[in-house]
Amino acid sequence: MEGRRYVPLSGVAAVILFVAGEGAAGNTPKLDASISSLVSFYSTHDDGQVASGVLLSLGALFFLIFSAAVVDALRRAEVGSHLVSTLCFSGAVVFVVGLTIAAGLAVFIDDTADHLDPAALQALHVASLTVVFSWSIGTGAFLLGAGAGTLQTGLLPTLRGSASGRSAAFPALSGSLRRRACTDRGNPSGFRIGRRAG
């Protein structure tokens, strides 16, 4: 199919949407933020939170399409076991699930912040930030599977000119988000947080 040539570009689209969604989220309060600051933030950033959730969800869809293309290339080149390609796609699925949960929580909290019990709002806010574990594990599994599969099958020249080459920005973005998570224990989520609050 002629359209298959453009499938790897879904990785580029995913990165653009991730960056846009992160920027739209704004300076999300830290884990230890007061209830009043949480209510104030979600009340004044309602449009940004909804936009962030939509953009991140669309980015997750494009990333899943890109991941399927990478796994398809690996499986066609693999001989015998499909362990690394399965690890690659499993990681992509875990990443997408974690990301969409974070996006959904952002929109849900924003819609209900004015009506929630303070303790419930605090708990949902903490949950939305600590979902970092699912997408970080998923990212690691995807990159490990893709890297191992590329080395194992000798697909590096092919992927460099198609799927992997056009998605080089994704590992860079992932590394940047992971470094941000490690530098601030009080605000570990890379996607929903956007820029850290001062």
The reply to whether 162 falls in a domain is yes
102 residue type, one letter: A
The reply to whether 36 falls in a domain is yes
- Mention every residue, 6+ apart, whose C-beta is less than 8 A from residue 92: 63, 64, 67, 68, 71, 138, 142
Structural domain harbouring 94:
11-183
> What count of other Cβ atoms lies within 10 Å of the Cβ of residue 36?
9
Q: What is the pTM of this model?
A: 0.70
- The count of domains in the chain is 1
Name the helix (H) or strand (E) containing 182: helix 169-183
pLDDT (tens, 9 = 90+) of the chain, 198 residues, equals 556 777 888 989 999 999 998 888 777 777 777 877 877 787 777 777 888 889 999 999 999 999 999 888 888 887 777 888 899 999 999 999 999 988 888 888 777 777 778 788 888 888 887 888 888 899 999 989 888 888 877 765 544 444 444 444 444 445 444 444 444 444 444 444 444 343
Token pair listed for 148: 């191992």
The reply to whether 193 falls in a domain is no
